[in-house]
Amino acid sequence: MSGGDPHPEMAAILEAQRNAPSPPPETLPLAEARSLFVRNNEFWNQNAPPVRAADTVLGGIACRVLGSDPARVVLFIHGGG
């Protein structure tokens, strides 16, 4: 596997997505677009390990901290709207 190639398991997922393209969600009725989103993304939630969640306030901002290893951090900021 070279630096730019996806892992073989990810390559198989990408290939499956290319072989079963979906219509643009903005062209669908809302209920159908939501159903399509769930169907296209349910794979990512299968066999997921349990994750600890704790609601807290950091720097005056309400946050949800997921996981328990402070050495491994991903910061996700949702812009709202």
pLDDT of residue 75: 80
pLDDT of residue 63: 87
Model pLDDT for residues 2-26, shown as the tens digit of each residue: 568 999 988 998 898 889 888 998 9
This prediction has a pTM of 0.48
pLDDT of residue 34: 94
CB 55 within 8 A of CB 62: yes
Rounded distance between C-alpha atoms, residue 53 and residue 64, angstroms: 7
Helix (H) or strand (E) holding 57: strand 53-58
Candidates 18, 19, 23, 20; CA nearest to 35 is 23
pLDDT of residue 78: 77
Task: Provide the 3-class DSSP secondary structure of residue 18.
Answer: helix
Model pLDDT for residues 32-73, shown as the tens digit of each residue: 999 998 988 888 878 888 888 889 898 898 888 888 787 787
pLDDT of residue 69: 80
